[in-house]
């Protein structure tokens, strides 16, 4: 079942991104374009947080409570990788 909150946010971001594309096509003032890009980035970060929270409250909790040690290690490694990639960006 899709995360409705994340999906709704992504569709809003999609519209906002189309607006940014239009601004670039129309040669809008650079700083205005950058501000809109930053708004899209912030919105995407919020969606990532919503999806991560859902993942932590479902998949990760299930794995941690489970008996499979390798599964526990796998989900924790995935979380560490996500944070590592976020710090590289």
pLDDT digits 0-9 by tens, 23-68: 999 999 999 999 999 999 999 999 999 999 999 999 999 999 999 9
pLDDT digits 0-9 by tens, 62-74: 999 999 999 999 9
The CATH architecture of the domain made up of 4-88 is Up-down Bundle (1.20)
Contact predicate 38/8, CB 8 Å: no
Those residues whose C-beta lies under 8 Å from the C-beta of residue 40, and which sit 6 or more positions away, are 13, 16, 17, 20
Contact predicate 74/23, CB 8 Å: no
Model's pTM, two decimal places? 0.84
Domain ranges of the chain: 4-88
């Amino acid at each position: 079942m899709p995360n409705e909150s994340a999906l709704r946010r992504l569709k809003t971001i999609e519209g906002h991104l189309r607006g940014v594309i239009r601004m670039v096509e129309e040669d809008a003032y650079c700083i205005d374009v950058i501000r809109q890009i930053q708004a899209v980035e912030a919105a995407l970060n919020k969606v990532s947080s919503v999806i991560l929270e859902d993942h932590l409250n479902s998949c990760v909790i299930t794995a941690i409570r489970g008996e499979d040690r390798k599964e526990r290690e796998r989900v924790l490694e995935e979380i560490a990788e996500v944070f590592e990639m976020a710090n590289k960006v």
